Chain A
């Protein structure tokens, strides 16, 4: 099963979410990156319950100062999973690893102090004061560590002697230093042995604190991006006012709004048509992002959402030609489609989102391929959304059309800058298999060469006359 890290590599929307999460610690970051794509209703429910709890807890029980305080502590957390696994294997830790354990135990304690005071009880953080006491024999309260002289009287005396002899008798001093090193090693072994009794609790706390860091970041994102709590659907995925936070943020930098849309997917392939620049590709990206967020236990970008759990999300958008050098864009796409079909046939439930299938080949064969793909997806009852400019796709499927340019009476005012204002991105159900013919109109809006436009129009006219 793929993890978060695998998905952000190819999904810029999820990358945007990741970049906007205020995770305070490196272990928190690593925790999220290694999170598995959850495809089991129980796991998703648990994670969403934790998130729910955290949202309420952050809102009701934590002040801004508490949050700052907490994130400051978390900020100093190192990733000690390597050290913890050495401890589990009962290896002897070196000074750096002992330092890491001590520092972690102290952070764990201060996090616990902040949270437990406020009644945080979704998961327990174990008391690690035994660990702290062991590694802070002088009770100095510092997070630093070395093999303190107070661990052994003999060591303490030898160290003093070594320093005294260092200038007078360097050879003797070196011998004493070697003796010290041996004693230090036995102390490290003793400390490691004692610590390994607590290794289970250290590990549990480490994972829980990393998880907590992620939950708090997820909770903060909810208000920031206006996300909603998703419900788990059995068969039909249904969004009210779903939007794409990544594209929304790009638009808002240009003082433009993102128009959220409603859509439902009911295990029958959906064919989406619409003019160029009508947001078909964005819709596919949005559906992919929302599904991924849902199955990584986030709230989702919509007003309401009921989402069916899938095993994988495959988004095929024809602009990633760099991945497979030496393959044409068509070859790439068709191999992608093939992998969707292979997965479907192996019984995987997938969400397949395909942008303009077979657009890079001749329209006759292209249409045939689209129809065939739709038939196969229908047979396996997979949620599939395909955008196309091809008319005359006869397969049995749902057809949605982006409404497109709203008001042609203001036609002369439309330009590439304000086209957003004139476009209605919402979807309507249609029965026929024709497609909007607005390509030349959009080209005009984009202010391309007039000769090209005029010639194209006259070709179109004569073609129509022939029909």
Chain B
């Protein structure tokens, strides 16, 4: 049985798709099924409002997530009302998401449910902590690699990445893109007791001096960097980019004299939008990039089928990825159809 024993070594796991239709939901359902077989109790939530029953991009129907009796879950007012599962309400949040308050509950029967969750990182951390207080065997987070999402899947201890033909129908490109993501996931963590403070910052560039004081560089966005490069290093060489890190920032910094002392800190790998080339040339010149939230990538799951019907060779894809990433790679649909 692939990776179920491994994931149970961690308290929390997020499942993140590199693209829509890469098999994230199948993967989650598979894990839930295996956990149920071992009588393990999961607790599940999602990042933001990803849980639409119809995929809004391709208009294909998304499989709903099926929960076993006694599982814990968090979802919004709106999705709680549409559930087909008996559930005991354990808590209701004071804060609201765009879909209403978040409801924490325990399943009292088998049934189906659409998930929604906290739209930002600090709240997600709190929700995970709350779920852990009910002593489940693991907390699962239905993650997202969305540009719009302020919730970070990296707050979980471990992660499974789903990728597939939906990301690219060209196998070489698919492997290359996935490998680049893996490089980002592996970036080192900047450990500090001011991490939570930094996570609460919503925009702008900030300097962190040697005594861990945070200074506003008054650059509200990396897109406004042009005029202010000179002031970037007023408080030292460590800079926190609270929003996205893109090519522009890296290209600007790469040509500075102190590049080899420069350390950029970002929230997590999902905030890096820079291309592979500019990232590599920044790192090659001695620049450092670290993340506040780091997670353990445990496995990659592939879906060789693209939503337009294009099908890649599952065996070959898994072999290529596994060799390139040095990680276990699974085709969940295939495993599930063989097992059941």
Q: Which A residues are within 8 Å of any B CB, using their own CB?
A: 26, 78-79, 94-96, 99-100, 143-147, 159, 162-163, 166, 177, 180
Identify A79's interface contact among B88, B89, B94, CB under 8 A.
Answer: B94
B89 touches A95 (CB 8 A): yes
In angstroms, Cα B69 to Cα A145, docked, is: 16
What B residues does A78 contact at CB under 8 A?
Answer: 92, 94
B92 touches A100 (CB 8 A): yes
Q: A95-B89, A96-B101, A96-B103 are in contact. List 18 more A-B contacts (CB 8 A).
A: A94-B81, A96-B77, A96-B92, A99-B89, A100-B92, A144-B88, A144-B89, A145-B88, A146-B86, A146-B87, A146-B105, A147-B86, A159-B86, A162-B109, A163-B69, A163-B109, A163-B110, A177-B84
Q: Please give the distance in Å from A196's CB to the nearest CB on chain B.
A: 20
Q: Can you show 26 pairs from A to B with CB atoms below 8 A apart?
A: A78-B94, A94-B81, A95-B87, A95-B89, A96-B77, A96-B89, A96-B92, A96-B101, A96-B103, A99-B89, A99-B92, A100-B92, A143-B90, A144-B88, A144-B89, A144-B106, A146-B87, A146-B88, A147-B86, A159-B86, A159-B109, A163-B69, A163-B109, A163-B110, A177-B84, A180-B86
B94 touches A146 (CB 8 A): no
A26, A79, A95, A159 — most chain B CB neighbours (10 Å): A95
Top 8 closest A-B pairs, CB basis? Answer: A146-B88, A99-B89, A144-B90, A26-B94, A144-B88, A145-B89, A163-B109, A95-B89
In angstroms, Cα B110 to Cα A79, docked, is: 31
B177 at the A interface (CB under 8 A):
no
What does the 1/0 interface line of B90-119 toward A look like (CB < 8 Å)? 101010000001010110111000000000
B80 at the A interface (CB under 8 A):
yes
Q: Please give the distance in Å from B129's CB to the nearest CB on chain A.
A: 15
What A residues does B77 contact at CB under 8 A?
Answer: 96
What A residues does B86 contact at CB under 8 A?
Answer: 146-147, 159, 180
- Chain A residue with the shortest CB-CB distance to B109: A163
- Chain B residue with the shortest CB-CB distance to A77: B94
Chain A binding surface SS class:
helix
Q: Please give the distance in Å from A31's CB to the nearest CB on chain B.
A: 14
Q: Which B residues are within 8 Å of any A CB, using their own CB?
A: 69, 77, 80-81, 84, 86-90, 92, 94, 101, 103, 105-106, 108-110
In angstroms, Cα B81 to Cα A26, docked, is: 24
B87 touches A96 (CB 8 A): no
In angstroms, Cα B107 to Cα A146, docked, is: 10
What B residues does A79 contact at CB under 8 A?
Answer: 94
Known: A96-B77, A99-B92, A100-B92. A146 touches B108 (CB 8 A): yes
Q: Please give the distance in Å from B79's CB to the nearest CB on chain A.
A: 12
In angstroms, Cα B216 to Cα A339, docked, is: 39
- Chain A residue with the shortest CB-CB distance to B69: A163
What A residues does B109 contact at CB under 8 A?
Answer: 159, 162-163
What A residues does B89 contact at CB under 8 A?
Answer: 95-96, 99, 144-146
Q: Please give the distance in Å from B96's CB to the nearest CB on chain A.
A: 11
Q: Please give the distance in Å from B64's CB to the nearest CB on chain A.
A: 14
What B residues does A99 contact at CB under 8 A?
Answer: 89, 92
What A residues does B69 contact at CB under 8 A?
Answer: 163
Q: Please give the distance in Å from A26's CB to the nearest CB on chain B.
A: 5
What A residues does B90 contact at CB under 8 A?
Answer: 143-144
In angstroms, Cα B88 to Cα A9, docked, is: 40
In angstroms, Cα B88 to Cα A166, docked, is: 20
In angstroms, Cα B88 to Cα A162, docked, is: 17
What B residues does A180 contact at CB under 8 A?
Answer: 86
- Chain A residue with the shortest CB-CB distance to B103: A96
What A residues does B105 contact at CB under 8 A?
Answer: 146
- Chain B residue with the shortest CB-CB distance to A166: B110
What A residues does B87 contact at CB under 8 A?
Answer: 95, 146
Q: Please give the distance in Å from A131's CB to the nearest CB on chain B.
A: 16
In angstroms, Cα B87 to Cα A99, docked, is: 12
- Chain B residue with the shortest CB-CB distance to A102: B89
What A residues does B106 contact at CB under 8 A?
Answer: 144
- Chain B residue with the shortest CB-CB distance to A177: B84
Q: Please give the distance in Å from A78's CB to the nearest CB on chain B.
A: 6
- Chain B residue with the shortest CB-CB distance to A174: B84
A145, A146, A159, A180 — most chain B CB neighbours (10 Å): A146
What A residues does B80 contact at CB under 8 A?
Answer: 96
What B residues does A95 contact at CB under 8 A?
Answer: 87, 89
In angstroms, Cα B67 to Cα A163, docked, is: 13
- Chain A residue with the shortest CB-CB distance to B81: A94
In angstroms, Cα B93 to Cα A78, docked, is: 8
In angstroms, Cα B94 to Cα A26, docked, is: 8
In angstroms, Cα B101 to Cα A254, docked, is: 42
What B residues does A143 contact at CB under 8 A?
Answer: 90
- Chain B residue with the shortest CB-CB distance to A97: B92
In angstroms, Cα B209 to Cα A43, docked, is: 52
Q: Please give the distance in Å from B19's CB to the nearest CB on chain A.
A: 32
Q: Please give the distance in Å from B39's CB to the nearest CB on chain A.
A: 16
Q: Please give the distance in Å from B263's CB to the nearest CB on chain A.
A: 30
In angstroms, Cα B109 to Cα A159, docked, is: 8
In angstroms, Cα B77 to Cα A163, docked, is: 25
- Chain B residue with the shortest CB-CB distance to A94: B81
- Chain B residue with the shortest CB-CB distance to A145: B89
In angstroms, Cα B107 to Cα A159, docked, is: 13
What B residues does A94 contact at CB under 8 A?
Answer: 81
